[in-house]
Amino acid sequence: MKNLIVFGCLLCYLTSWSQKDTNERAQWFTDSRFGMFIHWGVYSGAEGYWKGEKLRNDNNYAEWILYRNSIDPDEYVTLLDRFQWDEIDPEEWVILAKKSGMKYITITAKHHDGFGIWDSKVSDYDLGNYTNPKRDIIAEMAAACKKHDIKLCLYYSHWVDWEHPLGWDHSREIYKLSENDYDRYWQEKVIPQITELLTNYGDISMLWFDMWIHHSESIVTKEQLLQLKSLIRELQPNCLVNSRLGLSIEEDPDIDYKTLGDNQLGNKKENFPWQSPATVAHSWGFHSSDSQWKSTSTLLKSLIGNVSLNGNFMLNIGPRANGDVPYEISQRMLEMGKWLQINGASIYGAEAFDLNKDLHDWGKITCKQDGNTFKLFLHVYNWPLTDHLNLSGITTTPKKIYLLADKQKSPLSFSHSNAFTYISLPTDQPDPYVSVLVAEYESKPEITDGIVAKTTDDGYSLLPGNQNPQPQSMEITPPSKYGTIPAFVAANGVTDFNWKIYVDQPGKKRVDVSYSFQGNRNNSQILLKAAGQSLYHSVHPTRQTVAEPNQDWHIDNFESNKIGTIDFPEPGFYTIKLSIQPSEADPIKFQWLWIK
């Protein structure tokens, strides 16, 4: 039966359009969205090998070679003999960041190896004591960042230090270290070096710490972390601090943003600032055997996906011992920079919109208030061969839609019907990676929440996981056997599903259902109700199938079945109700319902 649904207006932020849980310090961070990470240190001279032996870990994290290969710290620094100091120019890294569209740079001032890449007066384990003439890479980075208007941020390993005799080394899990001895390291090295970095190099926009566990699981105390954070607030009040300090943002609201796991992308919208640290291949420091390069499209989609959920993306380079950035990295970053020159308005200062992140199968949406105009940026990952784009869930009529790459902003034809906008597209996509459309509105558009969007090929894919509201008691079995067994809900008794769709083109539509049933009799049935009509389907055995030939890999078969047709008499909202009604012990494994 047809159900017309009216949803309330969502307020438009006219005075301050920003993530609501962003403090004033972090406003530049959420506006920037895209930054560079630089892992460069003594380990860069090893390139993943020590005395002919590869790094002792398949993760290829080259910056861990001192620990992984049990190298003596004094012998480790002989790797600096491989550095070609006449060729190393940190300004080139800053220029690469600028050309790549990045707004800030975070460089490893001190990694876990304990070696500082600046001229530290606190420790002898730093560049100032191992280069002649002395090099201070942090000073050179500070000058280059200031020259090119890039914010300088510093990575500092505070928890782990493999050089200091009282620093945390993971072998301490076996050979214990007292809290008093560890505090000596903290007071002798961490506090004085952070003081140096925040005193001698001008504005430091962010300190990036790397304790990937909560302080309660480590030797570091909360008091030590608060001491460190207080020092930062005293010396540079505007310097950001990330959650890998060891304090979660839930525990301490003074933490400026959350850092996700290595190469972990966002999966939900957050109102506080957050960031993904990521690599182009796998290792952070340069590893000569690294070859798992992500494509430019993959990296762009990672950036866009994070921004569409209010997140940042910090992409790493691992320069070699002569300062060169691997071609596979610089090539992809420069390609991203060219894309951002045209499409940067959809990233810088943009943020998440209110619709479900997985609503549309064609890509992601970001948005921003631009003067008196509210803009939605539709990032189209796969340019439709149908020459049109289906935009679902927005009840406000756009005033204009155009391609972001079109400097003339030539309007695209569109039609709008309640919660659906049909956009005509040119045959040729404007960008080979990700094309962006701009939909302009007088104010923040209202939405209808909880509907299933019309797909790129003009159907409705109704899944157990896109019901709204999602039944809390319903257990969805995830894909298994490398995806050969799809996600499903096992109906052992009567199991009901509900979806809402908006039909913009009325008329008769075919309904198909996919399920697996391993019983022997045809006594079970599936009942569908929509638009005041009912369809019945007698469940039949689907038997098994061979997932992988010649491997005895036999699985339950999921089979598509036509139920019938439903006549949707007029445009509008409709509720689709499906009831799985088994009559014997064998469950019916429901996969999907398809309407077109």
Q: Please give the torsion angle defined by the CA atoms of residues 142, 146, 150 and 153, in that order, rounded to the nearest 10 degrees.
A: 30
Confidence of residue 19 (pLDDT cuts 50, 70, 90): low
Amino acid present at 537: H
pLDDT exceeds cutoff 90 at 467: yes
- Convert 45-62 into a string of H (helix), E (strand) and C (coil): HCCCEECCEECCCCCCCH
Helix (H) or strand (E) holding 225: helix 222-235
Q: Can you name the residues that pair with 589 across neighbouring β-strands? A: 490, 516
Average pLDDT (40-61) is: 96
Q: For the residues of 306-365, what is the DSSP string, one character each?
A: HHTTTEEEEEEE---TTSPPPHHHHHHHHHHHHHHHHHGGGTTT-EE-SS-TTS-SSEEE
**pLDDT value of residue 165:** 96
Confidence of residue 134 (pLDDT cuts 50, 70, 90): very high
Helices (H), 344-418: none
Summarised one tens digit per residue, pLDDT across range 176-198 is 999 999 999 999 999 999 999 99
Mean pLDDT of the chain: 94
pLDDT exceeds cutoff 70 at 15: no
What residue has token string 């390993």?
157
**E-strand stretches of 3-162:** 34-38, 49-50, 53-54, 104-110, 151-156
Q: For each of the domains in the chain, give its residue range(s) and CATH number, in order of start.
A: 33-346 (3.20.20.80), 353-441 (2.60.40.1180), 460-595 (2.60.120.260)
**pLDDT value of residue 577:** 98
pLDDT exceeds cutoff 70 at 582: yes
Q: pTM, whole model, 2 decimals?
A: 0.94
pLDDT exceeds cutoff 50 at 10: no
pLDDT exceeds cutoff 80 at 442: yes
Give the whole-angstrom CA distance, residue 338 versus residue 105: 19
Give the whole-angstrom CA distance, residue 105 versus residue 446: 37
**E-strand stretches of 137-241:** 151-156, 206-209, 240-241
pLDDT exceeds cutoff 80 at 357: yes
The 3-state DSSP class for residue 360 equals coil
Give the whole-angstrom CA distance, residue 462 versus residue 575: 11
Give the whole-angstrom CA distance, residue 240 versus residue 256: 6
pLDDT exceeds cutoff 70 at 1: no
- The DSSP call for residue 243 is G
The 3-state DSSP class for residue 99 equals helix
Average pLDDT (451-478) is: 95
Q: Are 215 and 182 in contact (CB under 8 A)?
A: no
Q: Are 515 and 594 in contact (CB under 8 A)?
A: no
Summarised one tens digit per residue, pLDDT across range 72-117 is 999 999 999 999 999 999 999 999 999 999 999 999 999 999 999 9
Summarised one tens digit per residue, pLDDT across range 469-514 is 889 889 999 999 999 999 999 999 999 999 999 999 999 999 999 9
Summarised one tens digit per residue, pLDDT across range 320-342 is 999 999 999 999 999 999 999 99
Residue 575: which of 471, 451, 474 has the closest Cα?
451
Summarised one tens digit per residue, pLDDT across range 264-323 is 999 999 999 999 999 999 999 999 999 989 999 999 999 999 999 999 999 999 999 999
Summarised one tens digit per residue, pLDDT across range 376-433 is 999 999 999 999 999 999 999 999 999 999 999 999 999 999 999 999 999 999 999 9
Summarised one tens digit per residue, pLDDT across range 222-275 is 999 999 999 999 999 999 999 999 999 999 999 999 999 999 999 999 999 999
**pLDDT value of residue 18:** 54
Give the whole-angstrom CA distance, residue 141 versus residue 278: 21
The 3-state DSSP class for residue 561 equals strand
Give the whole-angstrom CA distance, residue 350 versus residue 368: 5
pLDDT exceeds cutoff 80 at 526: yes
**pLDDT value of residue 495:** 96
